[in-house]
Structure 1
Amino acid sequence: MVLSNINKRIQSLICNKKSRPLLPFLLAIIFTIMVSNQSISTVPKNSEILWDTYGIPHIYGNNAQGAFQAFGWAQMQSHANLLLRLYGQARGRAAEYWGEDYVESDKWVLTMGVPKRAIAWYQAQSSAFRSYINAFATGINTYAKEHADLIDDEVEVVLPVRPEDVLAHLQRVLLFTFVVDPGRVADNTHPESTPGSNGWAIAPKRSASGKAMLLANPHLPWGDLFLWYEAQITAPGINAYGATLVGIPVLAIAFNDNLGWTHTVNTHDGWDAYELKLQNNGYVLDGKVRRFETAPLLLKVKQKNGSLQEQKILLKSSIHGPVVSEKANKALALRVVGEDRPGVLEQWWNMAKSQNLSEFQQALRRLQLPMFTVMYSDRQGHIMHLFNGVVPVRQQGDFKYWQGIIPGDTSKTLWTKTHPYQDLPKVIDPLSGWLQNANDPPWTTTFPTAIKADNYPSYMAPRGPMDFRAQSSAKMLAEDASISFEEMITYKHSTQMELAQRILDDLINAAQQGNELARRAAKVLAAWDRRTDANSKGAVLFNFWVENVDLDKLFATPWDEKSPRTTPDGLADPKSAVKALADAAAKVEKTYGTIDIAWGDVFRLRYGNLDLPANGGAGDQGIFRTVYFAPADNGRFQAVAGDSYVAAVEFSTPVKAMALTSYGNATQPNSPHVGDQLQLFARQQLRPVWRTRKEITAHLEERKVF
């Protein structure tokens, strides 16, 4: 109808002599209208995936269902074996499929009620979003039917994937790995876990371009359910670019033309371990004995000969939650937040569809996401830090109290309510013009302090300390009044060790008075650049020394809430520190033949067939370029966690963005994208993000039309 009316108008102008002088001008206006109308209303007839040369899928959906189906297909093409194995574990049937190595995993998933709750979550979805999850599962199954030859035989037993599997996997990842890690439950502690992250939001007043910027930088293990998958999803009402964990059908960290966000693992306590007193086959609460809810299950375990052996397990649940251990006359039960929040996926989807801060906050207010800080920037220049999560309303105790074992024989410790959105620590557009989070409590997100701990319950988050990585993060932002996009990327790759900056001068001075080996070590450390670049000499020696000392007793001045960015400081016991240095030097020299071996000769990046010199190091030593290593062979160490997905975004016109998925965007055997970005990682570089169809087709590797 629109084109018909335009054609009629053109014909009347041609026939009207008085209008002919204006014809070129009018035709230009009409052409602009036509192009604008086409860009707004054009929807592809078919959904498709455009794969770029880094294996990033750019999904164009003719509707939302088409986009979800294509995304399911894309994840299978890149990660089929991993995805199916993860879904099998989320069913609690991995031991049945693959043997006894998965028994503990199945027990954990079944004890936490994941498969049963997944069914309830599926029924609780809106009808529209249920159809989206269905479409994602259809995409997975359709790929599997057409490309069975590309999938390992042993994981095909999981097929067909059901929509409930998607939600079971989501629960296993979010609630029962991030909120509560089974490994932490086993020893009844809440220690720091490996998952971490950096996040920055920079306002126009601190940006060299006058445009807001965002830095997304999660640090997760380089395998299993922690792997990131980078993608672009375009459909009516959405055009978002970002990443999600394999098996999750929506983007978890993303940006569009108008806004973006990232997550960091926050200091959020979303689970509690209750000690129950057992009596008369029940447990005591407020002086009365209550009965456990019980459910017997048969756990099937595949034997080496292919037969199935059955194990009987009895699931017990209390008012506090499921029982995870029993000894003598006591039991331990877990209470975990988020089990009543089935709308996580839809909230993430709506966050990606949002076009301004008001719409974004409307999505956040649903509080379906059980934890994670939200760091946000937008085209209008707003920045925000939200200490997001489902936080229990507790009647007593501070954060430290709730990290321990909680008495379960009184209802006074049993929380039943959670804080609404307005209660959560947050700041929008601080005076400083910058926000950072490096897994530190929200009180140190910017300076001058914008979120004050005194205004919140003492159990909300710990009062400190601000660790060295967070101090380094804040230092870089605070000391640069005009940060360019390129500088932000350079800062992101900083391998400077804040711990060394704080303690090294004292250590060198003390070591110069020590024995011959200590003096040689002091000379190496004095020449060291205090970084962990591949060619840094002295970093290996210092790292071995750190392993020999007790960091909690190392400093003369402990961390102080009143001086959060300059403490701890000073060497408490120079004599023992020098002895530890001499011991470290002897070990380094014996292992590597010299005490000034380069960092990259010892610490390696190994993925697929690649073996490259590493840079970066442990976050607790104050290294912003965070990489964690595990022992490998011949005294070498290889990267196993840390910087995994990085995105740097500036909300200019058009949006400027660079990104990297450290280990590549695929794990399927023979994929060219296994480890294909690791060379860039080793060179401390990001790659350009291609978002327009013109850019994508200029770097097109493959096209799939549905």
Structure 2
Amino acid sequence: MPSFLLAWYKRYLFKALAFTFSLIFVLIVGSQSFSSTSLSNQILWDTYGVPHIYGQTIPSAFKEFGWAQMQSHGNLLLSLYGQARGRAAQYWGEEYVESDQWILTMGVPDRARAWYAAQSPAFRSYLDAFASGINTYAQAHADLIDDSVEVVLPVKGEDILAHLQRVLNFTFIVDPTQVANLSHQQPKAGSNGWAISPQRSASGNAMLLANPHLPWSDLFLWYEAQITAPGIDAYGATLVGIPVLAIAFNDNLGWTHTVNTFDGWDAYELKLANGGYIFDGKVRPFESETFSLKVKQKDGSLSNKELVVRRSVHGAVFAADKTVALRVVGLDRPGTLEQWWDMARSQNFQQFQAVLQRLQLPMFTVMYADRAGHIMHLFNAQVPVRQQGNFADWEKIIPGDTSKTLWTKIHPYRDLPRIVDPDSGWLQNANDPPWTTTFPPAIDANNYPAYIAPRSMSFRAQRSAKMLFEDDKISFDEMVAYKHSTRMELGDRLLDDLIPAANKYGNNIAQRAAKVLQTWDRQANADSRGAVLFALWVQAMDLDTAFSQTWSEKSPRTTPDGLANPQAAVATLEAVAAEVEKTYGALNVPWGEVFRLKYGNVDLPANGGFGDLGIFRVLDFIAAKDNRFQPVAGDSFVAAIEFSQPVKAMALTSYGNASQPGSTHIGDQLPLFAQKKLRPVWRDSKNIKAHLVKKEVF
């Protein structure tokens, strides 16, 4: 049989079997009525597209979770797994060549196979079950999966671990753009996290606020779910394609993550000699491996590109203006997923901390609270043990010709900055170093190596700490309200200098702009007038040189402050004000008229803005049509939890809990976002039943 006919026949047979399986499944599901969640393996889908997964066994719960993720994000999930294999160009063409080169150069596929073999037999079976759920859904609903991504099927357990590496080690810790630019500047990713103890809680119960800010697309999308199986009943969210919850709570405890100020990679400059490189006075040969990278052409044929990967004792080698070798933490620690799983299964602080001590998760601050009233901030990271230097030193290119600069160990758990139950009664992190997690300060930077974390505090972190510091008794409703705060801390620092300077030095438009800024509420609410003018003025300023008083460790929450050059600031205001008036017809154009919540079929006035402005309610925008802006990152998954009896929780997945074409849950939570509201979390069978849309029984 000709190859093209054989391919057509296989595809036809697959679709036919899928239709048959789907029909049988629909008949089975349709005959079921709602019953006790303990009697069967099932997924209960609520009105916001959140799957409540019940497994009689742990493998069955994993399988259902794979099924659920495919139903909500099938095209995206398969695309991500295909890229993690390093075969995306083979599947989808030339535009994925650089992605494949990155994945293969960093050794992801081979390491994924090694990690899979290193899993405990039980957890390996869970990964297999998750993959089985993906494949089973694809067989049952092939008509709902895009034809272009079906080539990734079937998914295997090792694909999950390849995806995990791509997300954590080779995107969050280091990504290709950082290597290309030899820069440690972090990708646009951040978060807020709060933990409030009973002494500062109005109800006397500990509270937790989870609030990651990630891009609203690709591998950064959050997926909200509840997983119930023997030994676990946890609610939270994870990134698409990850088979366990990464941020979660149960009846007794919960945690969230923020991206921490952590340096987990280094670029070593190599001195080349005689076809190798110099190391400790001797010439060493490179290890070399050649890959045949297949690339799909427009006519469907495949071309081959040869990729030669060289490695030094440091790691993979990249050659541009300089020949550098990349060293990344965590590549010898395959237990991240099992650690997250066991964190969600923990029932008290002792159990939870014992799991953290494995130190398999390569990065992320852990902010924790529990029913017993404990709160904790852990600077969780696989920090290399370095012989010398501070944080800034290790962000530079490191000499690679000596073993004196080559780190081989990481700091154990006991070495990491950590505070449990501080006297203040509250903890916060807004991607600032751990030294500013609470006030009075509870972690002394002088007690740790200078390379662990920098010393700084952003305006967003200052705004975060200010709200907590100024409220002696915080209620659950107040915590939710604070979470939605759009006040610009930067405005509070600069307007008292800018407004009088504009009136003194400025022309007519500068003085009119000053009047607008004087009456502005200093927030980025949809109806805030003056926020657009101020934000665009800040964008035009060089904030590195703008302040008369720079940031000081002695005054971390009130500096930097003041204008270094008021006349230059006014000149910038004149230019920006003229452009705003010309573009939008008024200097006091409402924030929500210019900044829009445009996602899918939704288009609403936005509230919130750039964290650099000192806004706690983060939204990052890009230019859209008609001089408007639309969000691409920021508040993504939000959960507010009070460890009362029963637990009180509200949540929001800003962009909705699905990306699959045709889903009604794409953008369906944005109206609540626009209203600064969260929605109740339904965890018990009574509430789930009251909001049940669909039940699937397995």
Letter in 2 for 1:73: W
Alignment of 1:677-688 (within 5 A): 677-688=669-680
Tell me the distance in 2 between the aligned counterparts of 1:679 and 1:605: 9
Q: Residue 505 of structure 1 corresponds to which residue in structure 2? A: 496
The alpha carbon displacement at 1:193 in A equals: 2.4
Give the counterpart letter for 2:439 in structure 1.
F
Q: Percent identity?
A: 71
Other-structure match for 2:128: 134
User: Partner of 2:97 in structure 1?
Assistant: 103
SS in 1 for 2:350: helix
Larger radius of gyration: 1
Query: Over residues 213-246 of structure 1, what are the superposed CA-to-partner deviations in whole Å (9 max), with x where a residue is unaligned?
Result: 0000000000000000000000010000000000
- In the alignment, the residues of structure 2 paired with residue 80 and residue 458 of structure 1 have an alpha-carbon distance, to the nearest angstrom, of 45
> What are the residue-to-residue correspondences of 1:373-452 with 2, within 5 Å?
373-452=365-444
Deviates more, 1:318-327 or 1:472-481: 318-327
**Alpha-carbon distance in structure 2 between the residues aligned to 1:582 and 1:300:** 55
Find the partner of 1:321 among 309, 312, 315: 315
- Alignment of 1:479 with 2:470, yes or no, is yes
2:66 aligned with 1:75:
no
- 2:47·2:692 contact (CA, 8 Å) conserved in 1? yes
The answer on 1:211 being equivalent to 2:205 is: yes
Match of 2:183 among 166, 189, 209: 189
Q: 2:329 aligns with which of 328, 333, 337?
A: 337
SS of 1:242's equivalent in the other structure is: strand
1:45 deviation in Å? 4.4
Q: For residue 634 of structure 1, give the secondary structure of its aligned residue in structure 2.
A: helix
2:82 matches 1:88: yes
Deviation string, structure 1 residues 53-88 (Cα, Å, up to 9, x no partner): 000000000010010000000000000000000000
- Cα pair 1:43 1:236 within 8 Å, conserved: no
> 1:400–1:462: 8 Å Cα contact kept in structure 2?
yes
In 2, Cα distance between the equivalents of 1:344 and 1:547?
Answer: 39
Shift of 1:325: 2.2
2:580 equivalent to 1:585: no
Kept after mapping to 2: 8 A contact 1:89/1:105: yes
Structure 2 unaligned spans of 5+: 1-35
1:5-51 per-position Cα deviation (integer Å, ceiling 9, x unaligned)? xxxxxxxxxxxxxxxxxxxxxxxxxxxxxxxxxxxxx9834311000
CA distance in 2, matches of 1:407, 1:693: 60
Could you tell me how far 1:326 is from its partner in structure 2? 4.2
Distance in 1 between residues matched to 2:181 and 2:392, nearest whole Å: 17
Q: How does 1:509-548 map to 2 (within 5 A)?
A: 509-513=500-504, 514-548=506-540
Q: Work out whether residues 172 and 187 of structure 2, in 8 Å CA contact, stay in contact via their aligned partners in 1.
A: no
Partner of 2:484: 493
Distance across 1 between alignment mates of 2:238 and 2:253: 17
Q: TM-score by structure 1 length?
A: 0.93
Secondary structure of the equivalent of 1:75? helix
Partner of 1:20: none
For 1:599, the equivalent position in structure 2 comes to 591
Query: Pairwise mapping of residues 24-63 of structure 1 onto structure 2 (< 5 A)?
Result: 44-63=38-57
Which of 449, 452, 458 is residue 450 of structure 2 equivalent to?
458
Deviation of 1:324 after TM superposition, in Å, equals: 2.2
User: For 1:297, what is the secondary structure of its paired residue?
Assistant: strand
1:176 is aligned, of 170, 180, 191, to 170
**Is residue 565 of structure 1 aligned with residue 557 of structure 2?**
yes
Structure 2 residue matching 1:167: 3-state secondary structure? helix
The reply on whether 1:227 has 2:218 as its aligned counterpart is: no
Question: Shift in Å at residue 498 of structure 1?
Answer: 0.1
Does structure 1 residue 246 correspond to structure 2 residue 240?
A: yes
Matching of residues 655-694 of structure 1 within 5 Å: 655-694=647-686
Q: What aligned pairs does 1:223-372 form with structure 2 within 5 A after superposition?
A: 223-327=217-321, 330-372=322-364
Q: Is the 8 A contact 1:258 1:355 kept in 2?
A: yes
1:538 shift after superposition: 0.4
User: Aligned partners of 1:44, 1:626: CA distance in 2, in Å?
Assistant: 40
2:111 and 2:544 map into 1 onto residues whose CA distance is 42
**Count, aligned residues:** 662
Residue 598 of structure 1 and its aligned partner are, at CA, apart by: 0.5
Computed over aligned residues only, the root mean square deviation of the Cα atoms, in angstroms, reads: 0.8
Q: Is the 8 A contact 1:43 1:62 kept in 2?
A: no
Classify the secondary structure of the residue corresponding to 2:59: helix
SS at match of 2:270: strand
Listed one character per residue, the Cα deviations across residues 467-510 of structure 1 (whole Å, up to 9, x for unaligned) are: 10000000000000000000000000000000001111110000
SS of 1:89 mapped into structure 2: helix
Aligned counterpart for 2:115 among listed residues 117, 121, 136: 121
Counterpart-to-counterpart distance in 1, 2:177 and 2:239: 20
**Which of structure 1's runs of 4+ aligned residues deviate more than 4 A?**
none
Q: CA deviation at 1:608?
A: 1.0
CA distance in 1, matches of 2:620, 2:259: 16
Name the SS of the counterpart of 2:66 in structure 1: helix
1:18 corresponding residue in structure 2: none
Q: Return the alpha-carbon distance in structure 1 between the equivalents of residues 624 and 179 of structure 2.
A: 28
Give per-residue Cα distances to partners, 1:94-132, cap 9 Å, x unaligned: 011011111111111111100000000000000000000
Residue in 1 aligned with 2:33? none
Deviation of 1:287 (Å): 1.0
**Alignment deviations for residues 243-268 of structure 1 (CA, whole Å, 9 cap, x no partner):** 00000000000000000000000001
